């Protein structure tokens, strides 16, 4: 429901209210942010519950809050692999990474790379991939920010990216890790409250989940319950399984499936035939009540695996498995998540934190599939306009009474801001930490004072924010979850093999680790960039094996990285660090034995 002038005033006030609250928490914590350790790892004294809430807050990004529900609406159960993979990734963290990594006692992944292999050069290589993964993962958050701001205010997409990006950058620069720990905890509970209230509020008015699911999973496509006016952009393609009666409200040029071109005048009623109709010029069309909704997948396809999302691909099984591998293994290599385990006081606390995170994330993911189903039932017009990513922002307007609709809109706006702010804050800390700690303090000026290092962190945070804003403006055309999946693939191909073998195999050598990280990371990055900037027709179309392997590179890039690390390490056995047994003991034995040391000291 739009206020006069097209602005959701209550939602906008709530949106900025959350922003002010977050910045206020950041400012408050600056009173206790006094040391370098405060900025980078919150003095390593964060409790498991607080840290778990902060991890869940920064992990559950715009892709989880907005993207999963939107993809369930658009493609059905075919995309439930996304939340399954996002949650399952923490099992790998729990089993293989969390506690040993904390016992190593560093600030960042580059710290681990240097300390495990006694190589400053490897630190610089690791920094590069921290920056690539971090900046890449900021892109979907910026996309969510621009989209939300556009819906709330009608302002251009880029305005939202600039406004929200600036607020987040300010918050990170002020408080560092200690500041955003409390901010992200607050934002996690805002997000879960928003989804819970939206789901229960909509069902209380329109009926419970089972009724909606039964209706939308039938063999028929969704239909308009009443006459509906939709504005279409030039070039829009309307796919129909059966004809639909419409009336032109603007002068439009329509190219029918057989190639015939029609030019209906305003007020003229005509039929859109079955097949694909292209609107050469944009304009408003009024769909009659009972007409099928264009571009909506049929219910029997929507409610089964390998449905609309992958059925159009030539190799849906490879695509799905590669996506699952990326989301599960990529979690264990995300630099902004891993740095959080350094904020626990010891390995046992890190393990407890991971267990709590699994529970919190599982609770959160109960709601996006439910909301996606409600969206298919109540707002099917989003299929016709190609705007399913706006589902959470539009769904409240489908229910009454008016006060409830406005309340749900405001709560969702607060949750949306929390989603992209919490994740972007964590990413910005990881990127700023890589620049300030790994590049400046450990490479350029090893003797820099604590004050100089904190200033370097703040400057780096501002630089990272400017890069994220500039890049975020360029990705409006890409789906949020697709961008996130690509960031996970790069993380899985670069850092997951390094951490797994570096923690568990003492035979891993510096040449092997460096070669595998570079080969895996570059392979995944090049494949993804090719997919982003080349049209599918340039890669043999989306049905080709080449396009599938480039769009989802994890299935081959990760084995190449592991194989390279193992193979090169076998050829360079004499390069195993002399103190490897002591390092392995420090990572794997309980802290009570007194072998643990902090790799980075104040």
Q: At what angle do helices 402-433 and 157-206 cross, to 10 degrees?
A: 130
**How far apart are the C-alpha atoms of 492 and 55, rounded to whole Å?**
18
Strand 237-240's sheet: what is its strand order? 237-240, 275-279, 254-255, 261-262
Query: For 226-257, what is each residue's pLDDT tens digit?
Result: 899 999 989 889 999 889 999 999 999 999 98
DSSP, collapsed to helix, strand or coil, labels residue 86 as: helix
CA-based max dimension of the chain: 83
**Domain tally, the chain:** 2
Interval 528-541 mean pLDDT: 67
- 429 vs 459, higher pLDDT: 459
pLDDT of residue 570: 95
| Domain endpoint, select from 438, 457, 477 | 477
Per-residue pLDDT band at 88 (split at 50, 70, 90): confident
| Domain endpoint, select from 455, 477, 499 | 477
**How far apart are the C-alpha atoms of 71 and 86, rounded to whole Å?**
14
Q: Is the pLDDT of residue 540 over 50?
A: no
Q: Is the pLDDT of residue 594 over 90?
A: no
**How far apart are the C-alpha atoms of 93 and 286, rounded to whole Å?**
52
pLDDT of residue 2: 39
- Whether residues 36 and 164 fall in one domain: yes
The DSSP annotation for 317-382 comes to HHHHHHHHHHHHHHHTT-HHHHHHHTTSSSHHHHHHHHHHHHHHHHHHTTHHHHHHHHHHHH-THH
Enclosing H/E stretch for 244 = strand 244-248
Query: For 375-417, what is each residue's pLDDT tens digit?
Result: 999 999 999 988 898 899 899 988 878 888 888 988 998 888 8
Count the Cβ atoms, other than its own, within 10 Å of residue 294. Answer: 27
pLDDT of residue 422: 80
CATH code at position 38: 1.20.1730.10
- Whether residues 67 and 105 fall in one domain: yes
pLDDT of residue 500: 94
End-to-end Cα, the chain, rounded Å: 53
- 153 vs 265, higher pLDDT: 265
Query: For 461-516, what is each residue's pLDDT tens digit?
Result: 899 999 999 999 988 888 887 888 899 999 999 999 999 999 999 999 999 999 99
Query: For 49-71, what is each residue's pLDDT tens digit?
Result: 888 888 888 888 878 888 899 99
The Cα angle at residue 12 between residues 11 and 14, in degrees rounded to 5? 65
Highest mean pLDDT among 93-102, 177-186, 354-363: 354-363
pLDDT of residue 372: 93
H-state helical runs in 5-94: 9-29, 36-41, 48-59, 62, 68-75, 81-92
Nearest to 334 by CA among 93, 578, 141, 124: 93
pLDDT of residue 3: 40
Residue 540 lies in a domain: no
Query: For 290-304, what is each residue's pLDDT tens digit?
Result: 899 999 888 778 887
* Residue for token pair 């009623």: 269
- Whether residues 201 and 233 fall in one domain: no
Task: List CB contacts of 399: < 8 A, sequence separation 6 or more.
Answer: 201, 202, 205, 206, 378, 405, 408
What's the whole-model pTM score?
0.82
Mean pLDDT across the chain: 84
CB 498 within 8 Å of CB 517: yes
| Domain endpoint, select from 451, 477, 503 | 477
The parent domain of residue 350 ranges over: 18-208+324-477
Residue 539 lies in a domain: no
- Whether residues 340 and 240 fall in one domain: no
- Whether residues 157 and 195 fall in one domain: yes
Interval 74-99 mean pLDDT: 84
Nearest to 245 by CA among 285, 296, 297: 285
Nearest to 102 by CA among 51, 165, 27: 51
Least confident range of 557-566, 581-590, 593-602: 593-602
pLDDT of residue 293: 92
Looking at the chain, the whole-number percentage of residues with pLDDT higher than 70 is 89
- Whether residues 101 and 58 fall in one domain: yes
- Whether residues 337 and 443 fall in one domain: yes
């Amino acid at each position: 429901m739009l206020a006069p002038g097209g602005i959701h005033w209550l939602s906008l006030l709530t949106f900025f209210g959350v922003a002010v609250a977050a910045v206020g928490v950041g400012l408050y914590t600056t009173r206790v942010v006094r040391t370098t350790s405060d900025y980078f790892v919150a003095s390593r004294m964060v409790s498991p519950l607080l840290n778990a809430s902060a991890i869940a807050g920064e992990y559950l990004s715009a892709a989880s809050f907005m993207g999963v529900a939107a993809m369930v609406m658009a493609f059905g159960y075919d995309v439930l692999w996304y939340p399954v993979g996002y949650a399952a990734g923490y099992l790998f963290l729990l089993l293989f990474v969390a506690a040993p990594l904390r016992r190593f006692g560093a600030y960042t992944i580059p710290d681990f790379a240097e300390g495990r292999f006694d190589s400053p050069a490897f630190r610089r290589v690791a920094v590069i991939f921290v920056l690539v993964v971090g900046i890449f993962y900021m892109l979907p958050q910026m996309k969510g920010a621009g989209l939300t701001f556009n819906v709330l205010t009608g302002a251009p997409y880029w305005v939202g990216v600039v406004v929200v990006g600036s607020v987040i950058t300010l918050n990170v620069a002020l408080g560092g890790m200690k500041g955003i720990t409390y901010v992200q905890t607050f934002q996690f509970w805002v997000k879960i409250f928003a989804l819970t209230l939206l789901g229960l509020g909509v069902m209380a008015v329109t009926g419970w989940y089972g009724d909606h699911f039964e209706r939308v999973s039938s063999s028929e496509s969704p239909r308009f319950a009443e006459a509906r006016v939709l504005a279409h952009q030039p070039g829009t393609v309307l796919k129909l399984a059966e004809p639909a009666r419409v009336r032109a409200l603007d002068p439009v040029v329509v190219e029918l499936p057989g190639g015939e071109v029609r030019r209906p005048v305003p007020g003229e009623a005509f039929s859109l035939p079955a097949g694909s109709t292209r609107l050469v010029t944009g304009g408003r069309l009024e769909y009659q009540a009972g007409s099928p909704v264009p571009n909506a997948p049929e219910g029997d396809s929507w409610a089964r695996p390998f449905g609309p999302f992958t059925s159009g691909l030539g190799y849906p099984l490879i695509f799905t498995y590669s996506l699952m591998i990326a989301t599960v293994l990529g979690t264990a290599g995300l630099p902004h998540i891993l740095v959080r385990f350094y904020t626990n006081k010891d390995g046992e606390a890190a393990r407890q934190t991971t267990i709590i995170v699994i529970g919190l994330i599982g609770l959160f993911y109960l709601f996006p599939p439910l909301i996606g189903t409600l969206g298919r039932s109540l707002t099917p017009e989003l299929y016709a306009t190609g705007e399913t990513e706006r589902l959470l922002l539009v769904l409240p307007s489908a229910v009454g009474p008016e006060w409830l609709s406005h309340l749900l809109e405001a709560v969702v706006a607060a949750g949306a801001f929390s989603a992209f702010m919490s994740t972007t804050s964590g990413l910005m800390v990881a990127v700023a930490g890589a620049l300030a700690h790994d590049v400046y303090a450990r490479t350029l000026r090893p003797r820099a004072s604590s004050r100089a290092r904190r200033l370097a962190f703040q400057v780096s945070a501002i630089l990272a924010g400017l890069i994220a804003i500039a890049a975020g403006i360029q990705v409006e055309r890409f789906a949020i979850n697709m961008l996130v999946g690509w960031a996970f693939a790069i993380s899985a191909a670069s850092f997951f093999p390094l951490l797994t073998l570096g923690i568990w195999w003492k035979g891993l050598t510096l040449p092997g680790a460096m070669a595998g990280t570079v080969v895996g990371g570059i392979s995944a990055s090049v494949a993804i960039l090719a997919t982003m900037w080349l049209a599918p027709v340039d890669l043999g179309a989306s049905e080709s094996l080449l396009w599938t392997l480039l769009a989802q590179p994890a299935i081959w890039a990760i084995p190449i990285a592991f194989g390279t690390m193992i193979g090169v390490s076998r050829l360079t056995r004499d390069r195993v660090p002399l103190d490897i047994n002591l390092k392995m003991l420090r990572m794997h034995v309980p802290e009570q034995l007194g072998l643990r040391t902090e790799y980075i000291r104040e």
